[in-house]
Structure 1
Amino acid sequence: MLQILSITTPIFLLIGLGYFAARSGLVSREQIRGMGIFAMTFALPALILRALSQRPIGEIVDPVFVLAYGLGSLLIFALGFAFFRLVRGQSVASCALSAGGMSVSNSGFIGFPVVAMVLGAPAGVALALCMLIENLLIIPLMLFFAEASGQQGKGRGALLGETFKRLARNPIILAIVLGLCLSLLQVSIPAIPLKAIDMLANASAPVALFVIGGTLFGLRIGGAGTEIALVALAKLILHPLAVGLAFAVLPDIDPTMRLAGILFASAPMLSVYPLFGQRFGFEERCAAILVTATALSFFTMGGVLALMGAGVF
């Protein structure tokens, strides 16, 4: 439990710093949004490009792990989207963001340190595979539905065409495609541009957390408290359960990789989650969801570790 606290405490310190900066007037709301745009346009794509291009896919691919983690994440995305659309009556963009928050983990900054602490070397392989699922399946799916919601009133063909055009210009999608191509072709990025990519990638987490804190200043939750709780709890409880169920029904699972997948799924949503919401006007709600899930993850991830120690997983 102390190890988990040591991982999450710096996150809250950076969020608190952003909140203090906004509250004291050191940065304005417009400046906070500008930093968010920087993170989404440059820093996060650099992080994804680095993660996908550093290791040849052929060396690490575990088809059963990919299938199980992908099916569990996709199931939660589908259930979340259907629930918020049919039961809560929300817009398509809002449903897509809620479903994405329920099914994409903070694999790099919370999941990996915890998994490495428990399982050691297999954590690196599991991290790469989880990020493949997140960056090639769930995040593009979330962006597709969110982008499509802004094209209402057009024919189906025109809707798909406009949506794909907007996705093709999205820096995150471009980084995913480029990183995947480099990984498949086993092409190394030259040292000088790689250094610049590293610098941008390393800025993604602190900038994102600072932006979250600044966004929280002046936040009015209103009637969104129920949704915040639903998304946060679904991410921390339903996502690892769905991934665990997928592992249970598939054959030939390495027990160590199964535990790694469940632990990664039990992490809160990715730290740049509010920056996805910013593009569609939901940054405050997404920031509140992220902070709630991150705070609760101290207890839920500790619970998963306790169940693992008891031999439940």
Structure 2
Amino acid sequence: MLDIFLQTLPFFLLIGLGYWAGRTGFFSEEATAYLTKFVFYFALSAMLFRFSANLTMSEIFDWRFVMAYLWGTAFVYGLVTLVAFFRRLKAEEAAFEAQCGVIGNVGFLGVPMLTLLLGPDAIGPVMLVLAVDLIVFGSLIVIIVTGTCDGRMSLGVFRTVGIGLVKNPMIVSITLGLAWSAFDLPIPNVMNDFLSLLGGAATPGALFAIGASLATKSAERPFVAGWLSFNKLILHPLFVAFSALYLFPVDPYPAAVMITAAALPVAGNVYILAEHYRIAPQRVSASILISTAIAVITVSVVIGWVSALYQ
């Protein structure tokens, strides 16, 4: 377990370095925003395109995998929502708390970290988890918030969701990469070197950006944030594991990757949406901060546990 902790520690040290840079003012909020934009639109997109261009749809898509992840995630989503309703929160607030309980930082943290720690074969399962998060639960939060705020459901909601998916560079890069692979097109050496060089900036850039963005977040309402972090770091991977191992049996290695991806801390894009809609941004912010700090330990524990599934 100590060896696994030491393997994951450099990733969180990079997050800590970014946090220090943001906290001391060495890295301003504007600089953090531009670094995040560079990683999101360029470096991470290059990495995802290069990975997916070397895969086939059959290597990525697995109905049992999707059902296992969906069931485990939906169960925790429903649990957090029920607790929120018990506390008499509005539907849109409950939806954001549910997002905190199940949506992990798969794009910025999971893709670079899990492909290095669990091996290059992890990229397919990781991208499938990312796609489900973005397409299913990313769409769901927009539908719930827009529908409740407008007081009715309209076709315009689905147009907003569709445009958001089409403009998301992670979805676009994965789709283009799979299309490239489907046509069996070779990647020229110059293009491959360019993508490798640009994609290589994704790991340090994303981790540093996570830390720098955390420096601007507060830990207000720590009890609620602690509850949401507990769901994300403990209950989410546990129920996903139960689903992947017993309800919809998935092969050991992809199941291990899925469970580890479910154990990642709350994603930063949940805060971006919360700030955009002005719904519980402090609560979401605190959940990201607390879950990321605790994940230094919990992610190592989960990786140590799931490693026994396929070794």
TM-score computed with the length of structure 1 as normaliser: 0.75
Task: Give the SS at the match of 1:281.
Answer: helix
**What are the residue-to-residue correspondences of 1:168-179 with 2, within 5 Å?**
168-179=166-177
Q: Which of 170, 191, 195 in structure 2 is aligned with 1:193?
A: 191
In structure 2, C-alpha distance between the alignment counterparts of 1:193 and 1:276, rounded to whole Å: 33
**CA offset at residue 93 of structure 1?**
6.8
Give the letter aligned to residue 25 of structure 2.
Answer: G
Give the letter aligned to residue 26 of structure 2.
Answer: L
Aligned residue for 1:108? 111
Q: Which of 131, 136, 144 in structure 1 is aligned with 2:127?
A: 131
In structure 2, C-alpha distance between the alignment counterparts of 1:31 and 1:251, rounded to whole Å: 44
Distance 1:284 1:196, change over 3 A: farther
**1:231 maps onto 2:228 in alignment:** yes
1:39-69: CA deviations, max 9, x gaps? 2222333333233222223346555344423
**CA offset at residue 260 of structure 1?**
4.9
Aligned residue for 1:246? 243
Q: Which of 276, 281, 287 in structure 1 is aligned with 2:275?
A: 281
Task: Give the SS at the match of 2:55.
Answer: coil
The answer as to whether partners of 2:68 and 2:247 remain within 8 angstroms in 1 is yes
**CA offset at residue 156 of structure 1?**
0.9
Gaps of 5+ in 2: none
The answer as to whether partners of 2:125 and 2:258 remain within 8 angstroms in 1 is no
Distance 1:247 1:227, change over 3 A: same
In structure 2, C-alpha distance between the alignment counterparts of 1:104 and 1:47, rounded to whole Å: 14
1:208-253: CA deviations, max 9, x gaps? 2222322333533222x13332232222221222122213434765
**CA offset at residue 160 of structure 1?**
1.5
Percent identity over paired residues: 27
The answer as to whether partners of 1:168 and 1:174 remain within 8 angstroms in 2 is yes
In structure 1, C-alpha distance between the alignment counterparts of 2:165 and 2:50, rounded to whole Å: 20
In structure 1, C-alpha distance between the alignment counterparts of 2:307 and 2:17, rounded to whole Å: 36
Distance 1:217 1:96, change over 3 A: same
Q: Which of 162, 165, 168 in structure 2 is aligned with 1:164?
A: 162
In structure 1, C-alpha distance between the alignment counterparts of 2:196 and 2:283, rounded to whole Å: 30
Distance 1:253 1:145, change over 3 A: closer
Q: Which of 201, 219, 222 in structure 2 is aligned with 1:221?
A: 219
Task: Give the SS at the match of 2:275.
Answer: coil
Give the number of aligned pairs: 299
In structure 1, C-alpha distance between the alignment counterparts of 2:308 and 2:125, rounded to whole Å: 26
The answer as to whether partners of 1:103 and 1:269 remain within 8 angstroms in 2 is yes
Distance 1:61 1:220, change over 3 A: closer
Q: Which moved more, 1:233-242 or 1:53-62?
A: 53-62
Give the letter aligned to residue 14 of structure 1.
Answer: L
TM-score computed with the length of structure 2 as normaliser: 0.75
1:3-59: CA deviations, max 9, x gaps? 232233223322232233234433322222222222222233333323322222334
The answer as to whether partners of 2:36 and 2:209 remain within 8 angstroms in 1 is yes
Aligned residue for 1:212? 210
In structure 1, C-alpha distance between the alignment counterparts of 2:165 and 2:306, rounded to whole Å: 40
Q: Which of 97, 100, 112 in structure 2 is aligned with 1:98?
A: 100
In structure 2, C-alpha distance between the alignment counterparts of 1:188 and 1:8, rounded to whole Å: 34
1:138-171: CA deviations, max 9, x gaps? 1223332344435843751122223322332232
In structure 2, C-alpha distance between the alignment counterparts of 1:36 and 1:98, rounded to whole Å: 20
In structure 2, C-alpha distance between the alignment counterparts of 1:80 and 1:102, rounded to whole Å: 15
**CA offset at residue 81 of structure 1?**
5.2
Aligned residue for 1:29? 29
1:185-227: CA deviations, max 9, x gaps? 443443333333333322223222222322333533222x133
Alpha-carbon RMSD across the aligned residues, in angstroms, is 3.7
Distance 1:71 1:202, change over 3 A: farther
Task: Give the SS at the match of 1:164.
Answer: helix
In structure 2, C-alpha distance between the alignment counterparts of 1:7 and 1:288, rounded to whole Å: 26
1:87-140: CA deviations, max 9, x gaps? 4435377346424435958443444455x3xxxxxx5445412321x2321122
Distance 1:11 1:38, change over 3 A: same
Aligned residue for 1:120? none
In structure 2, C-alpha distance between the alignment counterparts of 1:2 and 1:240, rounded to whole Å: 21
In structure 2, C-alpha distance between the alignment counterparts of 1:166 and 1:252, rounded to whole Å: 33
Aligned residue for 2:140? 145
In structure 1, C-alpha distance between the alignment counterparts of 2:61 and 2:206, rounded to whole Å: 30
